[in-house]
Amino acid sequence: MSRSVYKYTIEVLKKVSFNPKLFKKELQKASLRLLPYEYYELIIWVKEYTVNKPALQGII
């Protein structure tokens, strides 16, 4: 079940990536919902996803 939460979180982050404040808020919510290893994977995903998005860089 938890893996579906991870995938859902990625989808939400993609949808709110137009707004850095919303992106950060959703990332903070994810830190409470996900298991530690999933959150670590999410952080890696965020770093790769934000490479070409200057507005989102530095959020982590």
- Enumerate the domain spans of the chain: 2-49
Instruction: Taking each helix axis as running N to C, give the angle between helix 20-33 and helix 2-15, from 0 to 180 degrees, rounded to the nearest 10.
Output: 170
User: Using 50, 70 and 90 to split pLDDT, how confident is the model at 2?
Assistant: low
Q: Determine the longest span between alpha carbons in the chain, in angstroms.
A: 33
**Are 23 and 13 within 8 A, CB to CB?**
yes
pLDDT digits (tens, 9 = 90+) for 14-54: 999 999 999 999 999 999 999 999 999 999 999 999 999 99
What pLDDT, on a 0 to 100 scale, did the predictor assign at position 1? 53
**Are 1 and 36 within 8 A, CB to CB?**
no
